[in-house]
Amino acid sequence: AARAAARARDDALATEAWIQLIHVVGNLEGRHADALALRLGAEGSIERSGGDPIANARLLGTLAGVLNEQGKYGEAVQYAERALEGFQKTVGPSHIEVAATWSRLGSALIPLERFDDAEKAYARTLAIREEILGPEHPAVALALNNLGRLRFTQGRYRESLSYVERALAIQEKALGPDHPFLAASVNNLGNALLMLGETERARQAHERALAIREKALGPDHPDVAGSLNNVGAILEMQQKLAEAAPYYERALAIREKALGPDHASVASTLTNLGSVLITQKKYADGLSRLERALTIQEKIVGPDSHAVASTLTGMAAAHNEMGQPEKALPLAERALAIYAAKSEGVSPLELADTRFHAARALWASARSRKRATELGTLAHTTYAAEKGEYAARMLTATQAWLSAHGGAR
């Protein structure tokens, strides 16, 4: 009996080791395929220990996190939901493991644009953690940060900033200013500040996140690529194109190596790099990046996603600049249709950009100059209401276009 108990205890320890190894390899080191390959070892250990349902739920939740990082969002949702079902049958609805699983579920739902479901998942995470750990615990800060990321994706930037600033205050007090856990909050702070027009503060935040991540994770981690991408985006917005391109190129190389060529994050960087190349009048190179990004996005997040609309807008811009309004117009119209179908998550600046490119294509192709002027005027109004260097630059551009085409304000 004693030997049987010892074997069971050893199997339980082995199961814990397998699950931790999957987490480290998949989430911390960014080696997603290698992490998923370890699943069989964990499942065998669980089976030898008698099929522990709690251990199985923990394994499913950990795999959900890795699948989400790998960009397999639908599978991640399925695994997270199975993990929740297992936990709620064993430890109940208010356990700390349940909170972590709700968080993983929320993170997988955002790219699928299931924002209401993501909010419920994140709110449940926050409630459980505040109840068990108290309001000032770093794990509570992670939940607040995720709610901030959701609000950003929904285009609710002031709310996003409020959540992220609260998260960052908790983390800095508990962990110090340079702890790796701060990187995500600092990153999200930069995103919110950028969309609120505070470009320089946003750049400082993203450079701080990059420094933290490089020190903690090494230069080739996917999270480092995320920060490189964000610094590049700010430099692009400031029209520092020669500086922005190397950030995008390094981010792309890291992501392709770590995540594979068909990941949603690879598509995001391809879109950004394509935009820079087009602004530099390297139209063929820019369009090839955007076309590759579009193929990935339509496959991974669907043909009616926000990401697809953004890429279509970039392609329309390129064709307008090349004097091909007949090619630009259907791309811009498709992007406008995608945005029109969404109740939230559409950036006013992105919508204004799409309207302006549609207006230019309509006018140049002599399709409907009345509608072209209407769309140009809507874009101009949006730019006037927004803050920051980019909005100011586009306000000047739309004013000049309207003045030249009978729609001056």
pLDDT digits (tens, 9 = 90+) for 43-93: 888 888 788 899 999 999 999 999 999 889 999 999 999 999 999 999 999
CA pair distance 204, 66, nearest whole angstrom: 30
pLDDT value at 206 more than 60: yes
Question: Which tens digits make up the pLDDT trace of 143-198?
Answer: 999 999 999 999 899 999 999 999 999 999 999 999 999 999 999 999 999 989 89
Q: pLDDT grade, residue 16 (50/70/90)? A: confident
Element (H, E) at 398: helix 389-404
Average pLDDT, the chain: 92
CA pair distance 358, 330, nearest whole angstrom: 9
- Residue 237 is predicted with a pLDDT of 87
- Residue 108 is predicted with a pLDDT of 96
CB 35 within 8 A of CB 66: yes
* All residues at 6 or more sequence positions from 347 whose CB lies less than 8 Å from its CB, including other chains: 155, 195
pLDDT value at 28 more than 90: no
Percent of the chain predicted with pLDDT > 70: 97
Structure tokens at 392: 């100011």
Architecture, CATH, for domain 295-409: Alpha Horseshoe (1.25)
- Phi and psi for 364 in degrees, rounded to 5? -65, -30
Element (H, E) at 409: none
CA pair distance 311, 275, nearest whole angstrom: 9
Between residues 237 and 102, which one has the greater pLDDT?
A: 102
- Phi and psi for 333 in degrees, rounded to 5? -65, -40
Q: How far is CA 169 from the centre of its chain?
A: 23
DSSP code for 282? -
For domain 1-133, the CATH superfamily is: Tetratricopeptide repeat domain (1.25.40.10)
Structure tokens at 261: 């060529």
CA pair distance 116, 312, nearest whole angstrom: 26
- Residue 5 is predicted with a pLDDT of 38
The whole-model pTM stands at 0.78
Between residues 4 and 295, which one has the greater pLDDT?
A: 295
Q: 1-133 and 295-409 share one CATH topology?
A: yes
- Residue 1 is predicted with a pLDDT of 37
- Residue 407 is predicted with a pLDDT of 62
Q: pLDDT grade, residue 345 (50/70/90)? A: confident
CA pair distance 102, 125, nearest whole angstrom: 6
- Residue 43 is predicted with a pLDDT of 87
CA pair distance 315, 313, nearest whole angstrom: 5
CB 155 within 8 A of CB 306: no
pLDDT value at 343 more than 90: no
CA pair distance 344, 255, nearest whole angstrom: 28
* All residues at 6 or more sequence positions from 251 whose CB lies less than 8 Å from its CB, including other chains: 225, 226, 228, 229, 232, 269
* Nearest-10 Cα torsion for 125, 130, 134, 139: 20
The predicted model gives 255-272 an average pLDDT of: 94
- CATH topology (fold) of 144-255: 1.25.40
Q: How far apart are the first and last CA of the chain?
A: 88
CA pair distance 383, 393, nearest whole angstrom: 9
CA pair distance 266, 297, nearest whole angstrom: 10
Domain boundaries defined on the chain:
1-133, 144-255, 295-409
CA pair distance 87, 60, nearest whole angstrom: 10
Sign of dihedral through CA atoms 375, 381, 384, 385? negative
CA pair distance 395, 260, nearest whole angstrom: 39
Element (H, E) at 189: helix 182-195
pLDDT value at 3 more than 60: no
